[in-house]
Amino acid sequence: MLISTENIQYSHPGQAPLSFPDIHLKANEALLVLGKSGSGKTTLLNILGGLLMPHRGSVCIDGVDLNSIQGSNLDLFRGKNIGIVFQKPHLLAPLTVEENLQMAHYFSKKKGQEINRLLDELGIGVKSKSRVQNLSEGEAQRVSIARALVNSPKLILADEPTSSLDDENTFKVLNLLQTQAKKIGAALIIVTHDQRVKDHIPQFIEVKGA
């Protein structure tokens, strides 16, 4: 198993604790996490990415229990092994496209994938020297996908990557995520409330909320 979780529970202050179904996923597999808005999907994604510590239960990625590592080691582990695509691109505005990806190499202390080839594959090779502000929304989205992929992570997490896209682009982005994940042999977890995604990725779990 590349990633497996056990009895994860998390409670936001002043709210009833959330329980999440267990996840067991191998490399090269894809999984959807479905649920209504406010059901705690994003909380689960944060826990899986090591951004949030669960109050109970454990997350194991590639044989490493996230509970057992802390501080800068956890940050480094995340940088090396987990790529996260957010709902919005959130690129670093003062940097060019290429430099945004270089930062990921720098902080994870990992050589990862060759940046220009990756950008070419995602169809934004010509933009590598562009300022982030000069990108269209679709291009920015693809740069943020490239940033999640550039360190060849073992696990790719995507938070609502298609919510603001039309059918055609939804299909393109999903296709991109799936092919790239396969290529680097990573497990892919997509958190969404978008029913269209179900047609492309059969395996799913549902988060019910509190």
Partner 1 sequence: MNLFRLSWKYLTFRPLSTGLNVILLALGLAIITVLLLVQDQFENKMTKDAEGIDLVVGAKGSPLQLILSGVYHIDFPTGNIPLEEAKKLSRSRLIKNIIPLALGDNYKGYRIVGTNHDYLGLFEAQFDQGKVWEQPYEVVVGATVALREGLKVGDTFESSHGISVGSHDHEHDYQVAGILAPSGNVIDRLVLTSIETVWYTHEEEAESEDEKDHSELHQEVSKTGFPEGDQAKEVTSLLIQYRSPMAAVQLPRMINSGTSMQAASPTFEMARLFELLGVGVSLLQGLAFLLIGISGLGIFIALYNSLKERKYDLAILRVIGASRGQLVFLIFLEGIMLTSIGALVGILLGHSFLAVIISQNEQGVAASLDAWIFLKGELWILVYALGVGILASLIPAWSAYQTSIAKQLTKS
Q: Which is nearer to partner 1, 41 or 201 (CB)?
A: 41
Range 143-162, binding partner 1 (CB under 8 A):
147, 151
* Residue whose token pair is 């590349």: 2
- Copy the structure tokens of residue 8: 């994860």
Total binding residues toward partner 1, as defined by CB under 8 A:
34
Asked if 122 is part of the footprint of partner 1 (rule: CB under 8 A), the reply reads: no
Asked if 90 is part of the footprint of partner 1 (rule: CB under 8 A), the reply reads: yes
Positive or negative torsion for Cα 12, 17, 21, 26: positive
Asked if 107 is part of the footprint of partner 1 (rule: CB under 8 A), the reply reads: yes
CB atoms within 10 A of CB 66: 22
> What is the Cα–Cα distance from 198 to 202, expressed in whole angstroms?
6
Interacting span for partner 1 (CB under 8 A) from 40-48, 61-69, 135-143, 178-186 = 40-48
The closest alpha carbon to 27, from 122, 152, 192, 118, belongs to 152
Q: Of the candidates 78, 127, 142, 154, which one interacts with partner 1 according to CB under 8 A? A: 78
Q: Of the candidates 39, 42, 152, 180, which one interacts with partner 1 according to CB under 8 A? A: 42
Asked if 102 is part of the footprint of partner 1 (rule: CB under 8 A), the reply reads: yes
Asked if 142 is part of the footprint of partner 1 (rule: CB under 8 A), the reply reads: no
- How far is C-alpha 109 from the chain's CA centre? 19
Q: What are phi and psi of 19, to 5 degrees?
A: -115, 145
Tell me how far, at minimum, the Cβ of 104 lies from partner 1, in Å.
4
Q: Of the candidates 27, 69, 95, 205, which one interacts with partner 1 according to CB under 8 A? A: 95
| Cβ-based neighbours of 165, under 8 Å, separated by 6 or more | 138, 141, 173
Positive or negative torsion for Cα 106, 107, 112, 115: negative
Instruction: Note the residues at the interface with partner 1 (CB under 8 A).
Output: 42-43, 46, 49, 51-52, 71-72, 75-76, 78-80, 84, 86-88, 90-95, 99, 102-109, 147, 151
